[in-house]
Chain A
Amino acid sequence: MSHDDISHDHRDQDRPQQDTGGHHPTPMLDQLEEGPWPSFVTGLKRLRDAEGQQYAPMMNDLLGQLEHSYNERLGFWKGGTVSVFGYGGGVIPRFSEVAAQFPASKEFHTLRVQPPAGLHYDTDVLRKLCDIWERHGSGLIAFHGQSGDIMFQGCSTDNVQKAFDELNEIGFDLGGAGPALRTSMSCVGHARCEMSCYDEVRAHRSVINEFLDEMHRPALPYKFKFKFSGCGNDCVNAVHRADFAVIGTWRDDMKVNQDGVKAYVAKAGRKYTIDHVIAMCPTRALSLNDDDTLDVDNKSCVRCMHCINVMNKALSPGDDRGAAILMGGKRALKVGDLMGTLMIPFIKLDTDEDYENLVALARRILEFFADNALEHERVGETMDRIGLPSFLEAVGIDPDPNMVNHPRTSCYVRTDDFTEEAEKYFERKARESGLDVAAE
């Protein structure tokens, strides 16, 4: 394309600081080529030096701008508006503030692309992604961004549509940016993990693919993130990173293979087992019997995963599996950090209907968020602003003692309907235990 030729012309006029090969000197960045860890700078230089590739001049100037940042200790990118036909989000526009010195990378946009659930690839599709990005982009790809996107970093405005069209042709779609549903992530889960308590791929794809309109055409008050972890180990960091965290758990007793326990004790030692498994149980639900078998008080167990992690050949989650739902996690802006808070202690995730229920719950929360959050307010902040009782009432969730560390300690509350609320609680309990309340 003529675009690259134009860039070459500008470059030749404007830049004094180049070595004989036409490269910007990068003495600061060069120091990041030393040491044993793979160097991103060496990678950037490979792209700069790729003979005949359309992106080589862009990557030379990109290195020049980055070196400039290292010298000045400041960033030199600004945002703007770049999109693809039919969508409003998914592209992160970057225009250089120092384009006069580094014209070939004056536009260096990122395409956020949703990864396959569980981050699985084969080499064939990875090579296709590389080929597309070599034709239209910079050749620089991040696997993955903090929300889970494959980040195709470095694209001219003209090439964004072409790159997206080709990525979309092979089954990839843009992710979220701005005030929108964001790209999601799920752990390896069912694909290779015995701890997994639900089908993460199914949950992830069912929920996100239902609400793509909210991702591609940003119209929410602010960002909204779902994340899917198969157990309490929470390998995708859902509890703090997600507005809606789906974390696998189980309701029945954990499974104990007593021969496996004995084998562990025989190998690790009795004292070690007591100190590092039994005593580390957060709710004192474990006891080592005199014959080196394990006694589990399942009613006290909180499914934290520690003993199962340590003795995974002997212990495993129970059979009645599903997930706990936590809501409202986020980082500092604006009211300070919020950890996701338990809203649904258990949702069964087994049948088609169970997964439809999960999607329906997600829809209720998203709709509540769209209708009630203030501009630039995360749902956790909305929950705090209106108070949890109002939030629960609005989204149709009943109060549950699992939601709290302890009941309120402040007496500043009006309780004249306490008796009615207590009756509702007993009715719910009766319903849950299968009694026919209407018949009473």
Chain B
Amino acid sequence: MMDTAVQLRRPDETGVPDPFQYMHPLMVKNYGAWAWHDRPRPGVLYHVAKSGDEIWTVRAGTQRQMDVFTIRKLCDIADRFAEGHVRFTTRSNIEFMVSAFEKVQPLVDALQSAGFPVGGTGNSVSMISHTQGWLHCDIPGTDASGVVKSLMDMMYHEFITEEMPNRVRITTSCCQINCGGQGDISINVQYTKPPKINHDLVSKVCERPAVVARCPVAAIRPAMVDGKPSLEVDEQKCVCCGACYPPCPPMQINGADSTKIAIWVGGKHSNARSKPTFHKLVVANLPNNPPRWPEVEEVVRTILYVYKNHGRDFERLGEWIERIGWPRFFDLTGFAFTKHHLDTWTGSRKTMNMSAHVHF
């Protein structure tokens, strides 16, 4: 490398790859011309095209962060028991498409015996969408992979069956930026202390005006500390969101004990029935407790099974709460309703009950 002149290769800016080269031939043939579908069993979809062609899909859960050996094992199964064509869902499940019903059971068996749960369809708890965490992120409060593994173990039965009132979409995020997004249940880091500032480093590492501009509550201002240009935080104003930390790593927002986990419910992207909604706070201040986060697991289990027992068919978790009311939700789950559940951000009055409609 040192001795020879480096030959740099210009990138070929190919952009989004054309999927037709990888797609199952029946999907190419019937592209845009499907008629209806059914679910013969959990984890299996059956689609019928207008041409009369049929295709079966077997869906299996993965760990998302996959080693090449796992991917090759999935490829071996796809070559031996399916037809060599797969796709992934947005929630990191893998789907194998086959052209004959007879191939479904051997494929299901092969996946299960290799340790891949078959499910995630219909009214199941699908794989949790998650973020990077301690494995790879530069600002994480927790490790999404570990939280997800622990929770999916707990909810395994709900992945391989379709026993919930409607689909359940769970997300986790390792900081309050919330890359994991909205979910029926969301498990998100919630910081509880203002950033701890290393004043020796701020002027070397941070573009101070940009950091000041990031703060949603204008709590950061430039300051001279011990003769050095730095930043200071008005801790009365600070909402501990961590927005200053990515542009200024010396403003450490994480602490082994102060980084907590909050659980939110009722987020929904689909337009089915009700309009899309944001998730709402249920419990905060749960400990960030690796390797299996038992306190988080307990709260999620409680919410999930109260919903399972009380929700009506096709009600998403937020729609179920909408029907029974928040007082009953807090009663049924046994969680506390506190002043912190009252929104204080812009537009918060619109989240209040501006009526005499009361649940008793």
Q: Residues of A with Cβ closer than 8 Å to B?
A: 28-29, 31-32, 34-41, 43-44, 46-47, 50, 66, 69-70, 72-79, 84-87, 92, 94, 108, 110, 114-127, 129-130, 133-134, 139-144, 146, 148, 153-154, 158, 161, 164-165, 168-169, 171-174, 184-185, 187-188, 190-194, 196, 199, 201, 204-205, 208-209, 212, 215-216, 232-241, 247, 275-276, 280-282, 302-306, 309-310, 312-313, 316, 331-337, 339, 375-376
Using Cβ atoms and an 8 Å threshold, which residues of chain A touch B94?
143
- Closest chain A CB from B318 CB (angstroms): 13
**Given known contacts A130-B68, A190-B32, A116 and B9 CB-to-CB distance under 8 angstroms:** no
Using Cβ atoms and an 8 Å threshold, which residues of chain B touch A171?
14, 17
Identify which of B28, B72, B131, B145 contacts A130 (C-beta below 8 A): B72
**Given known contacts A118-B87, A121-B86, A208-B16, A38 and B62 CB-to-CB distance under 8 angstroms:** yes
Identify which of A73, A114, A239, A309 contacts B290 (C-beta below 8 A): A73
B8/A85 in contact, CB under 8 A: yes
A143/B216 in contact, CB under 8 A: no
CA distance A376 to B210 in the complex (A): 9
CA distance A173 to B271 in the complex (A): 33
**Given known contacts A37-B156, A306-B314, A146 and B129 CB-to-CB distance under 8 angstroms:** yes
B16/A143 in contact, CB under 8 A: no
A306/B273 in contact, CB under 8 A: yes
- Most-contacted residue by chain A among B31, B36, B180 (CB, 10 A): B36
B179/A37 in contact, CB under 8 A: no
Task: Tell me whether B146 is interfacial, beta carbon within 8 Å.
Answer: yes
Using Cβ atoms and an 8 Å threshold, which residues of chain A touch B313?
276
Using Cβ atoms and an 8 Å threshold, which residues of chain A touch B269?
234, 237-241
- Closest chain B CB from A14 CB (angstroms): 21
- Closest chain A CB from B65 CB (angstroms): 4
- Closest chain B CB from A3 CB (angstroms): 10
B291/A31 in contact, CB under 8 A: yes
CA distance A287 to B75 in the complex (A): 48
Additional pairs, 10, CB under 8 Å, beyond known A46-B70, A122-B21, A190-B32: A118-B23, A126-B74, A130-B72, A139-B69, A141-B67, A144-B92, A173-B14, A212-B13, A234-B269, A305-B272
Which stretch (B101-109, B147-155, B229-237, B332-340) binds chain A? B147-155
* CB pairs A–B below 8 angstroms (30 shown): A31-B291, A32-B149, A35-B152, A35-B153, A36-B156, A37-B61, A38-B62, A40-B64, A74-B254, A75-B138, A85-B10, A94-B136, A115-B17, A117-B16, A120-B22, A123-B78, A126-B74, A130-B71, A141-B67, A142-B65, A143-B92, A192-B97, A194-B37, A196-B34, A201-B18, A238-B269, A239-B276, A305-B270, A336-B345, A336-B347
Using Cβ atoms and an 8 Å threshold, which residues of chain A touch B66?
40, 43, 140-143
B134/A66 in contact, CB under 8 A: yes
Which chain B residues (224-280) contact chain A, with CB distance < 8 Å?
A: 241, 243, 249, 254-257, 259, 267, 269-276, 278
Using Cβ atoms and an 8 Å threshold, which residues of chain A touch B35?
194
CA distance A125 to B156 in the complex (A): 30
CA distance A113 to B16 in the complex (A): 9
Q: Across the A-B interface, how many residue pairs have beta carbons closer than 8 Å?
A: 362
Q: Residues of B with Cβ closer than 8 Å to A?
A: 1, 8-24, 27-28, 31-32, 34-38, 47, 55, 57, 61-72, 74-75, 78-79, 84-90, 92, 94, 97, 115-117, 129, 131, 133-143, 145-146, 149-150, 152-153, 156, 176-182, 210, 213-214, 216, 241, 243, 249, 254-257, 259, 267, 269-276, 278, 288, 290-292, 312-314, 345-347
CA distance A225 to B115 in the complex (A): 35
Chain A residue with the shortest CB-CB distance to B134: A69
B182/A70 in contact, CB under 8 A: no
Using Cβ atoms and an 8 Å threshold, which residues of chain B touch A333?
177, 214, 216, 241, 243
CA distance A410 to B38 in the complex (A): 49
- Most-contacted residue by chain B among A69, A85, A123, A130 (CB, 10 A): A123
A331/B177 in contact, CB under 8 A: yes
Identify which of A114, A187, A232 contacts B272 (C-beta below 8 A): A232
Chain A residue with the shortest CB-CB distance to B290: A70
Using Cβ atoms and an 8 Å threshold, which residues of chain A touch B79?
123
CA distance A149 to B22 in the complex (A): 17
B75/A75 in contact, CB under 8 A: no
Chain B residue with the shortest CB-CB distance to A194: B34
A116/B19 in contact, CB under 8 A: yes
Using Cβ atoms and an 8 Å threshold, which residues of chain A touch B347?
336
B153/A194 in contact, CB under 8 A: no
**Given known contacts A32-B149, A70-B291, A130-B71, A375 and B210 CB-to-CB distance under 8 angstroms:** yes
Chain B residue with the shortest CB-CB distance to A207: B16
- Closest chain B CB from A80 CB (angstroms): 9
B32/A185 in contact, CB under 8 A: no
CA distance A108 to B86 in the complex (A): 28
CA distance A57 to B88 in the complex (A): 30
Of all A-B residue pairs in the complex, the 6 with the closest CB atoms, nearest first, are A35-B153, A232-B271, A43-B67, A69-B134, A209-B15, A116-B19
- Closest chain B CB from A308 CB (angstroms): 9
- Closest chain A CB from B277 CB (angstroms): 8
Using Cβ atoms and an 8 Å threshold, which residues of chain A touch B23?
118, 120, 191
B290/A232 in contact, CB under 8 A: no
B68/A134 in contact, CB under 8 A: yes
A240/B182 in contact, CB under 8 A: yes
B11/A85 in contact, CB under 8 A: yes
Identify which of A201, A241, A280 contacts B314 (C-beta below 8 A): A280
A209/B84 in contact, CB under 8 A: no
B136/A77 in contact, CB under 8 A: yes
**Given known contacts A66-B135, A69-B143, A190-B32, A116 and B69 CB-to-CB distance under 8 angstroms:** no
A208/B22 in contact, CB under 8 A: no
- Closest chain B CB from A34 CB (angstroms): 8
Using Cβ atoms and an 8 Å threshold, which residues of chain A touch B20?
201
B149/A35 in contact, CB under 8 A: yes
Chain B residue with the shortest CB-CB distance to A137: B68
Using Cβ atoms and an 8 Å threshold, which residues of chain B touch A41?
149
- Closest chain A CB from B345 CB (angstroms): 5
**Given known contacts A118-B19, A141-B71, A331-B181, A74 and B57 CB-to-CB distance under 8 angstroms:** no
Using Cβ atoms and an 8 Å threshold, which residues of chain B touch A143?
62, 64, 66, 71, 88, 92, 94
CA distance A116 to B179 in the complex (A): 22
- Closest chain B CB from A61 CB (angstroms): 13
A282/B17 in contact, CB under 8 A: no
Using Cβ atoms and an 8 Å threshold, which residues of chain A touch B141?
75
**Given known contacts A32-B150, A121-B22, A110 and B136 CB-to-CB distance under 8 angstroms:** yes
